[in-house]
Structure 1
Amino acid sequence: MARKFLLLCLTLCSLVQAARAADMLVLGVVPYLSARKLAELYEPMRAQLQRSLGAPVVLETAPDYQSYLARTREGRYDIIATSPYFGRLAQLEQGYVPLARPLTNLEPLLVTRMDGPHELEALRGKVVSTSDKLANLTLAAHRYLWQNGLEPGRDVTIRPAGSHANSVQALLNGESAAAIISVTTMRQLHPGTTARVRVMKRLPHITPLLYLVHRRLGATRIDGLRGQLLQFANHTEVGRLFSKELGHDGLKEITPADMKVLDPYVQDLKVILR
């Protein structure tokens, strides 16, 4: 009898754990910073999503952009905080619905050491470090360099370093002549690091990080989540601080025009993926 009771308890525990796993939602953040830093920055949003959705929400990232893109394609993430080109691809081909975007645009930078070059031509034949070959900043820099007479892969080598921090460290170690970074990420790096670099070129502003949700959550739930997310980011003390830390300055709804403008970069992304 005791054995049967024990087996029943174990079965019930397994069923409870399975139910919890089924109810758990995943916020997937593109790995533009270390996992520890992302967890720190996105904890306020994770907690808000958990309150809004009435279900446990866990935060995940991935080892690199390629893995993150694959996991998004598989539908592993219920909500994504992703690069704009990944976001447009997720909308077009992977079942995700736009939620919100930052009020501010993203400003890519080419940075160099304090004694580094001032002109782009000085990068000819040199290495430029970046976080990942699929990062939105990398794709934006590809276009900028090409438009200014330096073809990546021929005139200049773009070398992924795994993260923005690693990219800047490669620059400081003399492994590259410049690094691709953003104004926002520059603020998030250690002051002792940023004090040793200077801005070489400011690239044209681009669409920032996008927030999307998988359509499996349902239209009613998604509409409610969108409103609650905007309320959180724009009208609560915790949300405003969260937005400031990420350089968002608040959130707003994503328009069709916001997404359509990303199409040329999605084509660039597909070429790289092939």
Structure 2
Amino acid sequence: MLIALRASAARRCSASMPWGLAALLAVLLLAAPPGRAADAPLVFGAFPNMTAKQILETYQPLADAIEKRLRRRVVIYSARDFKTFAARTREGDYDIVLTAPHLAWLARQDAGYRPLLKYARQTQGLLVVRADSPYHTPEALRGRTIATPDALAVTALAVQAELAAHGLRRNFDYETIDYGTHLNAVMQVVNGRASAAMVGLHPYSLLPQDARRQLRVLIETPPLSSLMYLTHPRLTDRDAQAIRKALLEFAATPAGEAFMQRGGYGGLVAVDGSELRAFRPYALQVEQMMRARP
């Protein structure tokens, strides 16, 4: 069974295949990468903060650029949830990984991943409600249900810290339900199934305008470092630098500029090692949460 698409062929396939097959390939994107062979392609692990179909559509052009620069096949994988993605990162399943800063700290600590680049524009955690809802203060959400993309998301953790500053504690003053992705969480609010949703600024920027018009931002967290690209230590320094160059070159192309503008990423910049250290408390909190999960 086909597990992942070759990056250079994926766009052609998704443009021409029936929707059902495209959806199947998007689901298979979440499977674990196969065992490695001497001529195995590079595995690009994309952070699962979007649906599988969105990940496939979003990162194919970027994977194509790496493939062209290194003259080596690149396949895109993700995972069904943040915990699985973090576990696969720890096991070294991904040659290149795009992940959140607190999980980047774990990736470097546990598996020796080397930071390459990050998105220049910082992100924020947002707490959103329906535009026509009666909730105008965080305190009004006491006793309500809040949708989250995944409890391990750094933006969700940051929003929870802001709610705590307003005297609201998770599982005491409000309940949360994980919906897997930022889009799924937000749609619970749009469809009236949750009183509010925690969402990251960048995924919020990718929402259709019609969806954003139905939402109102109740809380904005302080700025946070955005997603980061890292490489596994099994890659040579030469390969790592070639990947870095390919990413920067892609960001300067029309397709890359559209990619950055659409996601609100602001381009790519180097990662400062000290900023990873700043995410250690979030990383340790996530480790504890993952151990508690079945």
Q: TM-score normalised by the shorter chain: which range applies?
A: 0.7 to 0.9
Q: Does the 8 Å contact 1:53/1:225 carry over to 2?
A: yes
Quote the residue 2:175 is aligned against.
Answer: 157
Q: Does the 8 Å contact 2:205/2:263 carry over to 1?
A: no
- 1:66-81 equivalences in 2 (<5 Å): 66-81=83-98
Quote the residue 2:39 is aligned against.
Answer: 22
Structure 1 residues without counterparts, runs of 5 or longer? 1-17
**Regions of 4+ moved over 4 Å:** 18-21
What displacement does 1:118 show?
0.9
**TM-score, with length taken from structure 1:** 0.88
Secondary structure of the residue aligned to 1:215 is: coil
What displacement does 1:182 show?
2.4
- 1:110-125 equivalences in 2 (<5 Å): 110-116=127-133, 117-125=135-143
Stretch of structure 1 that moved more, 141-150 or 254-263: 141-150
1:55 and 2:72 are equivalent in the alignment = yes
Q: CA RMSD in A?
A: 1.8
User: Residue type of the partner of 2:192?
Assistant: G
**Which is helix-richer, 1 or 2?**
1
Structure 2 residues without counterparts, runs of 5 or longer? 1-34
1:183 and 2:201 are equivalent in the alignment = yes
Counterpart-to-counterpart distance in 1, 2:182 and 2:242: 34
User: Residue type of the partner of 2:288?
Assistant: V
Counterpart-to-counterpart distance in 2, 1:51 and 1:142: 42
User: Residue type of the partner of 1:138?
Assistant: A
Q: Does the 8 Å contact 1:28/1:59 carry over to 2?
A: yes
Counterpart-to-counterpart distance in 1, 2:219 and 2:226: 19
Q: Does the 8 Å contact 1:139/1:268 carry over to 2?
A: no
1:267 and 2:284 are equivalent in the alignment = yes
Quote the residue 1:166 is aligned against.
Answer: 184
Quote the residue 1:106 is aligned against.
Answer: 123
* Structure with larger Rg: 1
Identical amino acids, percent of aligned pairs: 33
Secondary structure of the residue aligned to 1:23 is: coil
Q: Does the 8 Å contact 1:129/1:170 carry over to 2?
A: yes
Counterpart-to-counterpart distance in 2, 1:251 and 1:134: 24
**TM-score, with length taken from structure 2:** 0.82
Counterpart-to-counterpart distance in 1, 2:78 and 2:36: 23
What displacement does 1:255 show?
1.0
What displacement does 1:260 show?
1.4
Secondary structure of the residue aligned to 2:266 is: coil
Secondary structure of the residue aligned to 1:149 is: coil
1:204 and 2:210 are equivalent in the alignment = no
Kindly provide the CA deviation profile for residues 138-167 of structure 1, in whole angstroms up to 9, marking residues without a partner as x.
Answer: 111222222221111211112111211211
What displacement does 1:206 show?
0.9
Name the structure, 1 or 2, with higher relative contact order (CA <8 Å, separation 6+).
1
Paired residues in the alignment total 256
Given the superposition, is the C-alpha separation of residues 220 and 190 from structure 1 closer, same or farther in structure 2, using an over 3 Å criterion?
same
User: Residue type of the partner of 2:263?
Assistant: L
1:253 and 2:270 are equivalent in the alignment = yes
Quote the residue 1:137 is aligned against.
Answer: 155
Counterpart-to-counterpart distance in 2, 1:171 and 1:271: 29
Q: Does the 8 Å contact 2:127/2:197 carry over to 1?
A: yes
1:230 and 2:248 are equivalent in the alignment = yes
Quote the residue 1:192 is aligned against.
Answer: 210
Q: Does the 8 Å contact 1:99/1:211 carry over to 2?
A: yes
What displacement does 1:172 show?
2.5
Kindly provide the CA deviation profile for residues 88-139 of structure 1, in whole angstroms up to 9, marking residues without a partner as x.
Answer: 1001111211010011000221110122201010111111111111112111
User: Residue type of the partner of 1:221?
Assistant: D
User: Residue type of the partner of 2:141?
Assistant: L
What displacement does 1:225 show?
2.2
Counterpart-to-counterpart distance in 1, 2:128 and 2:281: 25
Q: Does the 8 Å contact 1:165/1:189 carry over to 2?
A: yes
Counterpart-to-counterpart distance in 1, 2:279 and 2:105: 7
User: Residue type of the partner of 2:84?
Assistant: S
